[in-house]
Amino acid sequence: MQQNIEHFVESYRQLQDRWSEQPDWLSDLRGGALQVFSEAGFPTTRQEEWKYTNVAPLTKISFGSAAGDSEAVHGIERAKQAIASYTIDGCSTLVMVDGTVVPELSSMGELAGGAQVKTLREALVSEASGLREAVVRQASFEGYAFAALNTALMQDGAYIFVPDGAVIEQPIHLLSVSTAGAQPLATHLRYVIMAGPNSRVTAIESYVGLAGEPHFTNSVTQVQVAPGAAVDHYKVQREQPNAYHIARLQVRQAESCTFRSHAFSLGSALARNDINVTLEAQGSECTLNGLFLVDGERHVDNHTTIDHTQPNCNSHQLYKGVLDGHAQGVFNGKIFVRSGAQKTDAKQSNNNLLLSPDATINAKPQLEIFADDVKCTHGATIGHLDEDAMFYLRARGLDQDLARSLLTLAFASEVTDQVRHAPLKDALSNAVAAMLPAADSARSD
């Protein structure tokens, strides 16, 4: 099947030219990845995992990349304003514009305990510890074409390394801004987070976009959590209405460690998030929370997989969706409990609020359990705003729009309330309120 991928091949050539200093193994890996992508092509709705998500609109656009320096500089000027409003207080910030780290817009100070944040480019060239292994491992792609494309074209990103026992109190905010002023652009970012034994770190991935030509963000994030470590991860996607966002989060947890991820999908025309967590040893905990708000003709698809391969691990998922207009949502939550993974405790909840009769949600919990001494529960609900609650609010003089927005905000707050970093929690509550009519006054004072 012939698909329009010439622009990606062109981007690949440009990238190979600009990255003359990259190690051979990486150059070869990229070549192989491009091959895999060319052969597999974009996924179609005939594939089970993409049944409800049609990426055809994305495939029809010839995305370029912000390859030349002049383009990058132009983008930076436009990005400066956006950065001011999306910065989060109390964080160390690394800013990327159209796929490239911009040091002068970032504020990454010294991190405690010898922790390092390097740009991906630096880290790859300097063969940072564990990075090559991580990147090569991810290259198995498992038939995931977008990850292959990311390997072939990853421009930049971040490498976060937290040594044994280091505790990083201040969250690390990875802010990606897409500008797409003159032509459609694609950004391929790779983040690699390696938390050493007994370390603590919080990372926030934000994606924002300026109005303009369509933008395609294709990101891959790899997280490795060593024994006893605790990683808090946040993902905030607030891209422009004509953006496409495809992201993959790959997590490996060692023994007795904790991984908590909170994902917020508040933008873009189409967003697809795949999260895969492998619990490789005993005694660990994994929490995946998510909130998505879609309206108009937007589409959001969240696929999560948690693989309990060993005994005595707990996993917990809470995904909530708010759908209005003609929007479409998909939630597919897989839980695997391998034989031998006894005393697994896995919970999954997916609650969806339909605010209009034309919005749709496809919710599919998928549990495959091969051990017999486990606790696994899942629940999916699809509903409307409570009539009694609406009547109560209106009977106290609140108009219909405000009543609906307040109740929707209340629904969403179960997820936003779990955010531990206060400035981020406020920013998210306000962002959600801003998306609901008349709810502006409900923002935190």
Footprint on this chain of other proteins (rule: CB under 8 A): 386-389, 391-400, 402-403, 406-407, 409-411, 413-414, 441-442, 445
Please identify, using beta-carbon distances, which residue of 269 and 354 lies nearer to other proteins.
354
Phi, psi at 268, each rounded to 5°? 70, 155
Residue 385 CB, nearest approach to other proteins (Å): 11
Please identify, using beta-carbon distances, which residue of 62 and 444 lies nearer to other proteins.
444
Q: Count CB neighbours of 305 within 10 A.
A: 16
Q: Count CB neighbours of 110 within 10 A.
A: 7
The answer to whether 387 and 350 are in contact (CB under 8 A) is no
Please identify, using beta-carbon distances, which residue of 56 and 410 lies nearer to other proteins.
410
Query: By C-alpha distance, which of 427, 386, 429, 383 is closest to 404?
Result: 386
Q: Count CB neighbours of 153 within 10 A.
A: 24
The answer to whether 320 and 290 are in contact (CB under 8 A) is yes
End-to-end CA distance of the chain: 55
Residue 445 CB, nearest approach to other proteins (Å): 7
For residue 30 the two structure tokens come to 């990229």
Residue 317 CB, nearest approach to other proteins (Å): 20
Residue 264 CB, nearest approach to other proteins (Å): 16
Please identify, using beta-carbon distances, which residue of 361 and 412 lies nearer to other proteins.
412
Please identify, using beta-carbon distances, which residue of 96 and 432 lies nearer to other proteins.
432
For residue 184 the two structure tokens come to 């459609």
Please identify, using beta-carbon distances, which residue of 135 and 393 lies nearer to other proteins.
393
Residue 201 CB, nearest approach to other proteins (Å): 30
Please identify, using beta-carbon distances, which residue of 372 and 445 lies nearer to other proteins.
445
Please identify, using beta-carbon distances, which residue of 112 and 389 lies nearer to other proteins.
389
Report which residue type is found at 241. Answer: P
Question: Helices H, strands E: what count in the chain?
Answer: 10, 19
Residue 413 CB, nearest approach to other proteins (Å): 4
Q: Count CB neighbours of 133 within 10 A.
A: 10
Residue 395 CB, nearest approach to other proteins (Å): 5
Please identify, using beta-carbon distances, which residue of 69 and 386 lies nearer to other proteins.
386
Euclidean distance between CA atoms 215 and 243, whole angstroms: 5
Residue 106 CB, nearest approach to other proteins (Å): 36
Q: Which residues are CB-contacts of 122 (< 8 A; sequence separation ≥ 6)? A: 128, 159
Residue 287 CB, nearest approach to other proteins (Å): 20
Euclidean distance between CA atoms 192 and 176, whole angstroms: 15
DSSP string over 119-181 = EHHHHHHTT-TTHHHHHHHHTTGGG-HHHHHHHHH--EEEEEEE-TT-B--SPEEEEEEE---
